[in-house]
Structure 1
Amino acid sequence: MTAASGTATVVGGLGAVGSMFVELLRAEGWAVTVVDPAGSGPDGDVVVGDITKPSDRVLTHVESSRIIVLAVPEQVALAALPTLRTPGALVVDTLSVKSRMDAAIVDAGRKGEFLGLNPMFRPSLGPRGRAVIAVPYVDGPRSQSFLDVVRSWGASVSVMDANRHDRLAAASQVLTHASVLAFGIALAELGVSADDLLAVAPPPHRTLLALLARVAGGEPEVYWDVQAGNPYAGATRKALFDATSQVDTAAETLAKFTTLMKTAEAALGDRSGQLNAECQSLFDRIAEGHREIAEGHRE
């Protein structure tokens, strides 16, 4: 499979993730059909339909495609499996949880290749220089060739099984988003205004404020799906809750607090120095951006 080797169908192609794949595939020379129940797209090239109850027109496009991208919620992707009787095609999902799709494919005894992708970034940012996790449910040459295409887009691809994906997604997404949202809720309870905080905020706090704006200003359904869907999400949030309690207890003495800090740093292994340097670089860029904004306001 080469970058310009045939036809593709992107189900849910009007959504943020789906439209990113449509744009990238078309730029590589693919003939892409969008299937979406939402209606027609800007170019009038959308087949309106429900992949879980496909019309003859939808089936015609799906069955003639060499690659089918399911940029849809998990319940839709799982319900669509019976309609995807295309052993000669590669089926790709973009779900944030992979273990249930993995089990469903095994239970259904499906033929053909199935590949899970999880772009670990907001679609509007694009894949260049960003991470994509790949889960080859049913591997083969089409999957490997398509991963080469994804790498050609500038993404770094990490290949793993479904269980490892879900564990890493819980640590990198569930824990991160829950921490940031909890920070915002605590700020609201403290009743301190953002204006007052920004006037005095040190770099770590300003970074957390920026993260809060990014996460809390996003699409609730996307972040809810991360918190609700991952099988490790509950245990991850409990770990965060327990860790917060440990900080409270450790504040009783310097010795306890010193031990707590060492325990926290140990989670970074031998990457602590590298990450500390990255943090300093990030803070320098934030400070420079803050100065530019302030100078712009004075002009």
Structure 2
Amino acid sequence: YGTWEKNGTSFTGFILLGFSDRHQLEQILFVVLLISYVFTLLGNTAIIALSYLDPRLHTPMYFFLSNLSFLDMCYTTSSIPQMLYNLRGADKTISYLGCAIQLYFVLALGGVECVLLAVMAYDRYAAVCKPLHYTVIMHPRLCGQLASVAWLSGFGNSLIMAPQTLMLPRCGHRRVDHFLCEMPALIGMACVDTMTLEALAFALAIFIILAPLILILVSYGYIARAVLRIKSAAGRKKAFNTCSSHLIVVSLFYGTIIYMYLQPANTYSQDQGKFLTLFYTIVTPSVNPLIYTLRNKDVKEAMKKVLGKGEAKVE
């Protein structure tokens, strides 16, 4: 893979250029990233803790929401600490092993989120369209199996794509025009024809991105039909509130992922790619807890109950 000198020693790895030509932007991004990362960790930890502490939240919906919160914490941790390190000073390097680990986990956890959002859509479909049979359909064993499928799908996809991407010949090129070791940017560095790898990536994306998206759209098609059949306005509002938070999260996440991974590498705009990556690695995981808490009466009540207990203990 070749080496170059770093502080007088031979170094094998990559240089993440990021926004190194815009120093002021990097300083702003460092502050925004740090605040977003802290908020993501605190918000998602709160949702996991509330789902565990409040018996009323021991339901399939909150089981999957806890999975999503844990996933978002892992997803941001796989990318943001390295980004913060590279943004804070002149050193933009990442070791080859560090790049490989980051690529594997960013790809894997992104895939998990695609499938998990589809699983959550099916859960909402069962809750709205089959309310009398909901507890029978979404029994704990099935919930565990569906969550396992999501996690195994994402990590299995990455196990195929990450090594293939890393093994591409780069003819000594080490400068990654990105602030992450992300697949489109690394494929774009290759000095050979990457059409075969891009075809493989697209084929796998059909199963990891498009198939879950189709399941989500079908689920929400049935949900919309069921909601329109509800005669009372209060009933329609309750059904809408049950699904609206998940639908917002799906729109935010899938909008950027589809643009990033379902287009040829030669049409890939680096600056657009960087800002879109910022969006789905920072904005989406940090706003998810906000979306679910602000629009969810059960979570708000659980929070009041837990905080109320804390205040009582202090007194």
Which category describes the TM-score, using the shorter chain as reference length?
under 0.3
- So what's the TM-score if we normalise by structure 1? 0.26
Task: Identify, as 1 or 2, the structure richer in strand.
Answer: 1
Higher relative contact order (CA 8 A, sep 6+): 2
> TM-score when scaled to structure 2?
0.25
**Which has the larger share of helix?**
2
